[in-house]
Amino acid sequence: MMPIDQSKPVLVTGGSGYIASWIVKYLLEQGMAVRATVRDANQRQKVRHLTQMGAQFPGKLELITADLLDPGAFDRAAQGCELVLHTASPWLISGYKDAANAFIKPALEGTRNVLKAVNGSQTVKRVVLTSSVAAICGDAADFVAGGKPALTEADWNTTSSETHQPYSYSKTIAEKDAWRICKRQQRWDLVAINPSMVFGPSLTTGTISGSVSLMKQFGDGTARFGVPDLSLGMVDVRDVAQAHLNAGFTAEASGRHILSAGEMNLLEIGRILEDHFGSKFPFPKRVSPKFIIWLTAPLFGLTRPFVSKNIGYRIRYDNTCGKTRLGMTYRPKNETIIAHFQQLIDDGLIKNRA
């Protein structure tokens, strides 16, 4: 691919999101013009952090209202751009009644609508898609059964469905469809970013993510009696944002890229927080037995199949590709966890209970 012309605007979909907000910030700080799509640019509270960024860089940031399910909503935004960073996708793990309409349809149709706009623009050269390790592997038990030392970009989630791990299913089918659409044409190429669980400070108090919910449980006492023996890969949101820029502007970049600074279980996260913050918060001291987690799963928005196939298993991700192809380096995991928790305290989302 020819190098991206950095004088042209960069389109960032889902611009008010957890990852996208940092992407917008980094692009602006590098002097680039940004078009950020949001669900409703008139909802001032939800886009306040973006308008504040725009005020720091006059004339460089344009907010455009575009709903994932609205055909043609991204057409104008894509015109004149050479680089499109598609981060917009719903995030819901619990609290939904209809998985298909909550996030499967928006993830798939949203990707199709954005790529239709890309096909309709004669200027776009590259699309960077925010996928997930959820598209790499569905359950930790799948990884263990596979007998590999670590998951790689060659792996695909084959076990999630609309009824089991529907969020993971949505990320899988959306990424697969993006590759299918890309292969039908020759003008633009596609690079996928596959982060593990994203932690780290948010640029807005309105962030909705699994890691924010988890951190709140560490601080509000929900986890004080124990946590599941759940292993997960983790990566700092600022590193994920930087990976998107590296993927966009590295001409030879291609394919998929797992992003992970390493793996931890929930008790290890709790110990890092306790070592730093002391007894100010009711951090967990033990791992809860799996059968207790299984029995109480519905009370915490978990399904029993999820518990059966993920609790007590260790998972590993090979991050070599991101390091070698995108030049990625990762912040230490403890630094990320502490910064994330401190930001939630500063924003008043976690109260000192000691």
CA-wise closest residue to 250 among 200, 321, 151, 172: 321
**Cβ contacts of 154 within 8 Å, gap of 6 or more:** none
Report the number of distinct structural domains present in the chain.
1
Which pLDDT score is estimated for 214?
A: 83
354 in a structural domain: no
Q: Which residues of the chain have pLDDT under 50?
A: 94
2 in a structural domain: no
- Report phi then psi at 170, rounded to 5: -65, -40
Please check whether residue 74 is in contact with residue 87, taking contact to mean a CB–CB distance below 8 angstroms.
no
Whole-angstrom distance, CA of residue 222 vs CA of residue 265: 17
Structure confidence by residue, pLDDT tens digits, 153-198: 999 999 999 999 999 999 999 999 999 999 999 999 999 999 999 9
352 in a structural domain: no
Which pLDDT score is estimated for 75?
A: 96
Which pLDDT score is estimated for 90?
A: 65
Which pLDDT score is estimated for 97?
A: 66
CATH number for the domain spanning 205: value is 3.40.50.720
Structure confidence by residue, pLDDT tens digits, 109-120: 999 999 999 999
**3-state class (DSSP) for residue 249:** helix
DSSP letters, 107-155, are HHHHHHHHHHHHHH-SS--EEEEE--GGGT-S-HHHHHHHT-SSB-TT-
What residues are annotated to the active site?
171
User: What's the domain range around 21?
Assistant: 10-346
Angle at 321 between CA 116 and CA 10, to 5 degrees: 35
